[in-house]
Amino acid sequence: MKKFVFTIVFVVAAFSIAFAQNSRIAEPDPETIGADSAAMALREINIDKFEREGSWNVSISADYGVITARLFDGNPAMKETLEEDEGHEDDDTTVLGVKVQFFRRGVNEFYITSARPQPVEGIVKTISVWVCGRNQNHDLTVLVQDMFGRNYELYMGNLGFSGWKKMTAVVPPSPDGEHGIVQQSAYYNNRPGLRIVGFRVDCNPMLARGSYYLYFDALRVVTDLYDLEYHDEDDMSDNW
């Protein structure tokens, strides 16, 4: 009997340890994404703080509804302050609000796109944005372009939550420098990088009715700036 009880305790303890380990890997680790070299200089940087009126456009099919967007005073209380923002908190006071008024339920989608694609230096590992949902099961996708201008979409998650939440998408590395999302190529060194085009919300057809509200803040990336930070000053640029 004692042996049986000991076995149960051991199994429960092992399960608890495994669960604790799994709970820590919910957030993607940029250091393990495409890590084929120890030479990395990862930095989390701001792409847009949603502080400029008119810098983001919204659209929806005219058959499905009407969409509008504007800035509002506010901030996610749990948002981390980056080193570059310390002492400049007064420059980050607004969020982007989006309102959709649906005509009828159906399979539809709407877009939140930057007035011009947002370029990102380095090799991007993750893209994150703070989103305030209204607990409806629509899906959020971030739209990007690689260095060749090819369009890709990365799933960020479901919007079935209330309040603010940081949503993150992993940028998968290209397997061979030619296929997938190519951010760097030995043959085209004069135009590396990634561009963020915007977001798409795929609506749950059963919930796409009435009015729906959505808010965005703090579009950021974790990017590898090793080649930029450790570039030799006397090295020529291959852009001629």
What are residue 169's DSSP bridge partners? Answer: 127
pLDDT, average across residues 69-91: 86
User: pLDDT category, 188, cuts 50, 70, 90?
Assistant: confident
For tokens 């604790």, name the residue.
20
Check: CB of residue 145 under 8 Å from CB of residue 152.
yes
* Alpha helix segments (H runs only) across 69-204: none
pTM: 0.80
List, in sequence order, every beta strand (DSSP E) within 74-191.
94-102, 109-120, 123-134, 139-145, 151-158, 162-170
Mean of the per-residue pLDDT values of the chain: 83
Element (H, E) at 15: helix 2-23
Both structure tokens of 145: 């372009």
User: pLDDT category, 121, cuts 50, 70, 90?
Assistant: confident
pLDDT, one tens digit per residue, over 8-51 is: 444 444 444 444 444 344 676 666 665 555 457 898 999 999 99
Check: CB of residue 218 under 8 Å from CB of residue 130.
yes
Both structure tokens of 58: 């919204």
| Residue 50 to residue 94: CA distance in whole angstroms | 7
